[in-house]
Amino acid sequence: MAQVKAHPEATLIACEVFENGICSLLSALVEEGAEATGPLPPNLRLWPDDARVLLRQLPDASIDRLFLMFPDPWPKTRHAKRRFVHPAMLELVARVLKPGAEWRAASDDPTYQDWVEDVMGAQTLFTVLPAAFERPDGWPPTRYEAKALRAGRTPRYWTFARAG
Ligand SMILES: C[S@@+](CC[C@H](N)C(=O)[O-])C[C@H]1O[C@@H](n2cnc3c(N)ncnc32)[C@H](O)[C@@H]1O
C-alpha cells in the first residue's frame, strides 16, 4: 500500500496466491463490506494467483521493478524447488525485466539467506549488489518484516540488477 501511494505514476501488480492474503490486502484498501465492489487505487492491479503464472504470461522486458519481500522460505531441502529464488526461475524473471531493472528481495530466514547468496552468486543474468542488513530507503516495510524484527531475526535485503 505504501508503494501504491508513493508511486502514483507507476502501475503496481500485487500477487498473492492465497485467498486469506488477498482478503487482508483488500481490507487495507477498501471499506469493510465493500471488498467485492469497492474501487481499488487506479494504479493497482491484483493477481490473485501464483506469481509465476503471471510472469510466464508477461511480455519480454515489460517490468521496471520486481519486489520479492519475505517469500516463503521452504527451509526443508526436499522443498527447495518451491523457493522463488531458484536456478529454474532466473531466466523467467530476467526475461520480463527491462535491461537494468531491479529485482529487490528480502528474507529473514538463515537457510533462505544462504540459498539466495549461493543461487545468485552462480548466475550471470543479474548483477548482485552486496546484501544490506537494514531496509534501504524507498523499500516498503512489510508485516512479515515487522514480525521478524520483533522476533530478533536480522533480515537481508538484496538488489539484483538485470544485466544487459
Ligand atoms: C511469508 S509471507 C510474506 C508476505 C509479505 N510479502 C510480507 O512481507 O509481509 C509470503 C506470502 O507469499 C505468498 N506466496 C507464496 N508463494 C506465492 C506465489 N507463488 N505467488 C503469489 N504469492 C505467493 C504467500 O501466500 C504469503 O502470503
Is 64 found in the same domain as 38?
no
Is 83 found in the same domain as 4?
no
pLDDT (0 to 100) of residue 35:
74
The DSSP secondary-structure symbol of 45 reads E
Is 74 found in the same domain as 108?
yes
pLDDT for 5-64, tens place per residue? 889 999 999 999 999 998 888 888 887 888 778 888 899 999 999 999 999 999 999 999
C-alpha cell, 112: 533462505
Q: For the whole model, what pTM was predicted? A: 0.94
Number of domains making up the chain? 2
Residue 55 lies in a domain: no
CA atoms within 13 A on the CB side of 100: 0
Is 162 found in the same domain as 81?
yes
pLDDT for 102-145, tens place per residue? 999 999 999 999 999 999 999 999 999 999 999 999 998 999 99
* Nearest alpha carbon, ligand 1 atom 19: 50
Q: Which residues line ligand 1 (CB under 6 A)?
A: 15-18, 21, 50-52, 69-72, 142-145
Is 43 found in the same domain as 11?
yes
